[in-house]
Amino acid sequence: MVDPLVVASGISRRFADGARDKLLVLDDISCRIDAGDRIALVGASGSGKTTLLHLLGGLDSPSTGTIMWPALGPREALRPGKLAFVFQTPSLFPALTVLQNVGLPLVLMESSDDVDAKAASVLQRLELSELAQKLPEELSGGQAQRVAMARALVTGPRLVLADEPTGQLDSATAQHFIDLTVDFIRNARAALIIATHDEAVAERMSLRWEINRGRLSHPAEPQRRRA
């Protein structure tokens, strides 16, 4: 039996909400992610998709419940390398070129060999080579999102959590880009979870998780399908 990448057990997340009671955003959620999973995380704006991704990525802690990464090790050892995050908000470093932004996780891992070549290879696989020498301020919103995905993939992570990575792309470009992303991670049997409002993107994933009123609905284990 192979260890799961992430197991969340009975997690909730509350936020302080001014004078009112604390806002309960996620309520008693249990879920797991296995190698090779392709998951679409859907739900209305404000339903808690970003909050859940931050928890599953070890960027935030649950108010109650536990999260573990059995196949990846302790939370401190997740990044950079084993787990990669694509943020919903712009996250490229303004002073670095696209190529340097994409290579940055490799620099942080002190893997000094061929950083530029590896970054260029990911850009090429995602059909972004022509952007390599540009600065972030010269990119469109949709281009910047795609570069952020390239930066997430450069270390060959085993789990990629992407928060609306195609939110600024037209639907046809978004679907093509998701196909390129899935192709890139297929050999490594990496798992991908994408928060999205785009049904066509969601349909390209093999599992669908939906957040509604703080609860997560997802298929029971026997119904889990593989990509």
Ligand X SMILES: Nc1ncnc2c1ncn2[C@@H]1O[C@H](COP(=O)(O)OP(=O)(O)OP(=O)(O)O)[C@@H](O)[C@H]1O
The residues binding Mg ion (CB under 5 A) are 49-50, 88
For residues 175 and 159, what is the distance between their CA atoms, to the nearest angstrom?
Answer: 20
Q: Minimum distance from CB of 43 to ligand X (Å)?
A: 5
- The site partner of 45 among Mg ion, ligand X, none (C-beta below 5 to 8 Å per kind) is ligand X
Nearest distance in Å: CB 97, ligand X: 28
36 and 8 in contact (C-beta within 8 Å)? no
Its sign, for the CA torsion 119, 99, 77, 12, is negative
* 46 contributes a contact to ligand X by CB under 6 A: yes
Question: 121 with 95: CB under 8 angstroms?
Answer: no
Quick one: tokens of 69? Answer: 């990464």
Contacts of 199 (CB under 8 A, 6+ apart): none
Nearer to ligand X by C-beta: 50 or 101?
A: 50
Q: State the CB neighbour count (10 A cutoff) for residue 89.
A: 8
**Between residues 14 and 54, which has the closer beta carbon with respect to Mg ion?**
54
* C-beta of 84 vs 102, nearer to Mg ion: 84
Query: In this chain, which residue has its C-beta nearest to Mg ion?
Result: 50
Considering only 2, 10, 15, 217, the residue that binds ligand X (CB under 6 A) is: 15
Q: In this chain, which stretch among 38-46, 94-102, 143-151, 173-181 interacts with ligand X, using CB under 6 A?
A: 38-46
Contact indicator for 42, 210 with CB cutoff of 8 Å: yes
Binder among 7, 31, 49, 99 for ligand X (CB under 6 A): 49
For the chain, the distance separating the N- and C-terminal CA atoms, rounded to the nearest angstrom, is: 19
Find the binder of ligand X among 33, 39, 48, 69 (CB under 6 A).
Answer: 48
- Residue keyed to tokens 């037209």: 170
Judged by CB under 6 A, does residue 161 bind ligand X?
Answer: no
The reply on whether position 50 binds ligand X by CB under 6 A is: yes
Using the rule CB under 6 A, is 166 a contact of ligand X?
Answer: no
Contact letters (x/-) for ligand X, 80-119, by CB under 6 A? Answer: --------x-------------------------------
Q: Which residue has the tokens 């712009």?
A: 90
How far apart are the C-alpha atoms of 97 and 103, rounded to whole Å? 10
Q: Which does 47 bind (CB under 5 to 8 A by kind): Mg ion, ligand X, none?
A: ligand X
Closest CB to Mg ion among residues 88, 175: 88
166: three-class secondary structure by DSSP: coil
Distance CA 36, CA 186 (A): 7
Q: Which residues contact ligand X by CB under 6 A?
A: 15, 23, 25, 43, 45-51, 88
